[in-house]
Structure 1
Amino acid sequence: MKSFAGPSSMRDDVAILSIALLPLWWIAGVDFIIYHLVALWLIYKAPIVLKPRDALHFSLLLLIFALTVSLIISVFGGDTDSFRMIAALNNVSIIGVGYVYYGHIRKRLDVDGNYVKLIWKAGFIIACMFIVVALSLSTTVMRGGAPEISVPTLFGLAVPKLPGLLGTYQRAYFVSADWFGGDNTPRLFIFAPFATGSAVVAAITGYMGYAHLQTKRAWARLLFLGLIFLAVALTLTRGAIAALVLGFAFLAFLRIGKLALLLLIVALPFLIVLSIAVLPSYFDQVLEMREGSSNLRLLIYRMSFEMVVDNNPLFGLGVKPREDSLGIPIGSHSTFLSVLVRGGFVSFFIAISAFVIVPLKRLLGFSVLRGVKKTYDQRIVAGTIMGGYISCLAFLILQDVDAYASIGVLIMVFLSVIMALSAPNARLRSYHV
């Protein structure tokens, strides 16, 4: 058995290095395979990463098992399209890769409190790259300029044009109109194959970068968070923007002084009146712009639920079937709905336990009760992991965590950090940033 103890640098830890190089894998078009290879390497070097470390890790293992059983039932019980079966296997494999990363990160954090510094640093690197690219494209997005800016990836240059999911890795999109719902408004598409993925990458790595900058001056941290907010806003992802606002509000609550809090309370009525007078027209414009997306998303949600209830409520359909009238499979655009369609209510409740009940129970005990009342370091940890979790949860509700390996790994790693740093026996004095 390999030992996890001892300090390490980023170049000595293949898991952290693979996360920090996310932009490189994106532009190369190989993120669909690179994280699978790293996961296999981690298992080879230390099989102990497969051992469940906590309730969330164990829930992920149950979810993989339940989805696999549902797929097997579907294959042997009916006429399952081979392409949909391969897609379902890919979805399960991505959760499996996340499970391995989770185990590696959690084990390292349990034995080395300083290991979290590498995670924060990796996130900071990605966030800085994201900000640079986002700022360079901000004028194009805000003015509604070119509807698409993209380049072929190395994978795209090396192989002929491919259909389906693999085809999305053959071009790297910087700006693109959202095909979902027929909207032609340009949005920021970087470091992920779609705008919502770009938003969650910026948000999660933004919180990591915030933790990394805790030794810097306050103005530097505020400037960094402001740039992260601008980057997320350029994706025009409503759920991600709302989640980021909530997370920033929690950070402010932890850090704000008594005088500033009193002034905020006094100013709150005036802010509400101003919001009522100014914001409705803006929100009307945004809702109108994204109306097609919202309508199609709700239609998919309704069809997905009805299809599961009518066919196999307990174990689901095994795969996400396609409808000719829709551009995406039934069960898409929500992790929980995707799990419901493929694995029925058995897998659905396991997913709710893994991604909602277990982390929320831990967070509410740590962030609110301990993070607010205790030391400066604990408030840093509380604000970072609570804010990041809000963004993770928003993504899980609105998108599929098991569709793209890079995003799945990033979220699983952050969940592992949450569970490690908020554990009752965590060596918090070692978690300096």
Structure 2
Amino acid sequence: MNATVATALRPGPAAALGASPNAVRFVRSFSILSFAYPLLWLVGLGGFYWVLVGVLAFLYLIRRGPVAAALPAIGVLGALVFSLPIGVLAFGLDFGRVASLGGNLLVWLSIAALITVSQEIDLDVLLRRIVLVIGTAQGAVVTAAIVAYPSSLPIPLLQGIAGRLPSGLGAFAQNRLYSIDWLGEATFRSAGMMAQPTWAGVFGAVTCIVAVSLLTERGWWRVLAVAGVAAGTLSVVLSLSRSTQLALGAAVLIGILVMVGARNRMAFYTLAIVAAIGAVIVVLLFNEQILEMVKEINGQREGSLETRSDIYARTWELVRQLPVPILGYGIKPQEEGLVASVATHSAYLGILFRAGILGAIALFWLLINALVRSLRSWDGYAVAIAVLVLIWCTLEDFDPGHLLPLAVVLVYARTWGSRPRPVGGSR
């Protein structure tokens, strides 16, 4: 691991004279903490990851200040903070919800710090290896849980007190490695090391993309990359998340298309036009069959569409009650009759509810800018990750404590200067 950190500590595009000691300290600490995430989870402290990274990020940013590309993350953070009084007045003071907001703020602070330091220090290789190690470890413990079933593995070690921890932290201390869930019928599902199956699935999807990009590595990293493809695929499959699976499929196709374009622009434009025309023809000719397929899929997951629709409808109703929705409510209330809190199951609608129009614009700016940068660099892997996140956030949450934000930082780290990156880890 020390060699990996040392390899990553090379100057970024804004550090012609070398990285600052402040940046080096932050990256070293972040690296050790991130590679240790599987151990944190094994103990039952996985939910504290962003708390610890957030403290490091704060110490780094008060000495450095954010770069321009990190301002959208700061914008979301600021909008959430200024929205909190509105939420307290509307729903009352709930210390649990305020604590949950604090966790969200640390995620956004960490994103801003990591994007900023990636301009001083090239984090591309380091972040990909971090994702690979965590994603492979997740697949390994899930595989062990499958082998041990119906017995349950005694991990995380603190699972016995998970119910006494705040909900956001306690969720990461539960053992949901391989268990029976109900999605129209009894079926096996896994939350891996990410507290929720959908979160484990999207991190597995990122692991797959990253692992393929590292297959040209040498030695044990290549072996781990092969294992990472298998581990990531297992996480995606056992998440049983349609949004994750569809987002990954679209991301891979678009990423491959961009890789073709990086070598041959004419082939790229030809394939893009053919794909667009083909998609239109398929929709026109088979629209009824497509609708039936969607209904059939939802029938297998009884309640999925209905419960989401109830959450979206109530969330939008409360947004409309804001006199001037420049800011939002800051916190997410839990209401009877809904299977999850208001403002969940969509990062975009959720941020609009919690941080208002200012926060929503900042989130779009952050994610769209990541996609634009990756397209300009003709980096197929970065494009695939950016597309995956953009689609997935339509139906899921971005900042509740899972590790998907690392993928967004990775896109920024790979695209400083909008220049193509080599496929492998070494440069």
TM over 0.5: yes
The 2-side partners of 1:226 and 1:390 are apart by 21
Pair 96,305 (structure 1): closer, same or farther in 2 beyond 3 Å? same
Letter paired with 1:253: L
Pair 43,95 (structure 1): closer, same or farther in 2 beyond 3 Å? closer
The 2-side partners of 1:118 and 1:385 are apart by 15
Identity across aligned pairs (percent)? 20
The 1-side partners of 2:258 and 2:392 are apart by 24
Question: Of the candidates 114, 119, 140, which is equivalent to residue 101 of structure 1?
Answer: 114
Matched, 1:172 2:166: no
Q: Are the equivalent residues in 2 in contact too, given 1:88–1:319 (CA < 8 A)? A: yes
Q: Deviations over 1:84-115 (max 9, x none)?
A: 33322332233223333333334312xxxxx4
Aligned to 1:72: 85
Aligned to 1:185: 187
Give the match's secondary structure for 1:234: helix
Q: Are the equivalent residues in 2 in contact too, given 1:53–1:103 (CA < 8 A)? A: yes
Give the match's secondary structure for 1:174: coil
Question: Of the candidates 231, 242, 247, which is equivalent to residue 246 of structure 2?
Answer: 242
Pair 255,158 (structure 1): closer, same or farther in 2 beyond 3 Å? same
Give the CA deviation at 1:319.
1.7
TM-score by length of 1: 0.75
Matched, 1:53 2:56: no
Unaligned runs of 5+ in 2: 1-16
Letter paired with 2:250: L
The 1-side partners of 2:162 and 2:392 are apart by 31
| More displaced 10-residue stretch of structure 1: 295-304 or 278-287 | 278-287
Q: Are the equivalent residues in 1 in contact too, given 2:57–2:109 (CA < 8 A)? A: no
Q: Trace 1:25-424 onto structure 2 (pairs within 5 A).
A: 25-44=40-59, 46-47=60-61, 51-55=65-69, 57-75=70-88, 79-109=92-122, 115-135=123-143, 151=154, 153-157=156-160, 161-162=164-165, 164-178=167-181, 184-215=186-217, 225=229, 228-253=232-257, 286-312=297-323, 313-356=325-368, 358-366=369-377, 371=378, 382-404=379-401, 406-407=402-403, 410-411=404-405, 413-424=406-417
Pair 24,293 (structure 1): closer, same or farther in 2 beyond 3 Å? farther
Give the total of aligned pairs: 393
Letter paired with 1:200: V
The 2-side partners of 1:207 and 1:122 are apart by 13
Give the match's secondary structure for 2:339: coil
The 1-side partners of 2:55 and 2:393 are apart by 25
Give the CA deviation at 1:60.
0.9
Q: Are the equivalent residues in 1 in contact too, given 2:45–2:169 (CA < 8 A)? A: no
Give the CA deviation at 1:149.
5.2
Aligned to 1:21: 36
Letter paired with 1:28: V
Pair 329,254 (structure 1): closer, same or farther in 2 beyond 3 Å? closer
Give the CA deviation at 1:329.
1.4
Q: Deviations over 1:107-161 (max 9, x none)?
A: 312xxxxx42222222222233234344556689xxxx96x95645233346773
Unaligned runs of 5+ in 1: 110-114, 372-381
Give the CA deviation at 1:77.
7.3
| More displaced 10-residue stretch of structure 1: 288-297 or 128-137 | 128-137
The 1-side partners of 2:332 and 2:228 are apart by 40
Give the match's secondary structure for 2:178: strand
Letter paired with 1:306: E
Q: Are the equivalent residues in 2 in contact too, given 1:152–1:172 (CA < 8 A)? A: yes
Aligned to 2:4: none
Q: CA RMSD in A?
A: 4.4
The 2-side partners of 1:214 and 1:83 are apart by 46
Structure with more relative contact order (C-alpha pairs < 8 Å, separation 6 or more): 1
Letter paired with 1:190: G
Q: Are the equivalent residues in 2 in contact too, given 1:29–1:172 (CA < 8 A)? A: no
The 2-side partners of 1:420 and 1:339 are apart by 24
Give the CA deviation at 1:204.
1.5
Aligned to 2:8: none
Q: Are the equivalent residues in 2 in contact too, given 1:320–1:329 (CA < 8 A)? A: yes
The 1-side partners of 2:333 and 2:230 are apart by 41
Pair 50,291 (structure 1): closer, same or farther in 2 beyond 3 Å? farther
The 2-side partners of 1:417 and 1:209 are apart by 13
The 2-side partners of 1:343 and 1:160 are apart by 29
Give the CA deviation at 1:194.
0.4
Pair 279,320 (structure 1): closer, same or farther in 2 beyond 3 Å? closer
Give the CA deviation at 1:300.
0.4
TM-score by length of 2: 0.76
Q: Deviations over 1:338-391 (max 9, x none)?
A: 2111122232222222223x223223322xxxx2xxxxxxxxxx1211111222
Give the match's secondary structure for 1:36: helix
Give the match's secondary structure for 2:321: helix
The 1-side partners of 2:331 and 2:425 are apart by 42
Pair 425,28 (structure 1): closer, same or farther in 2 beyond 3 Å? same
The 1-side partners of 2:189 and 2:141 are apart by 13
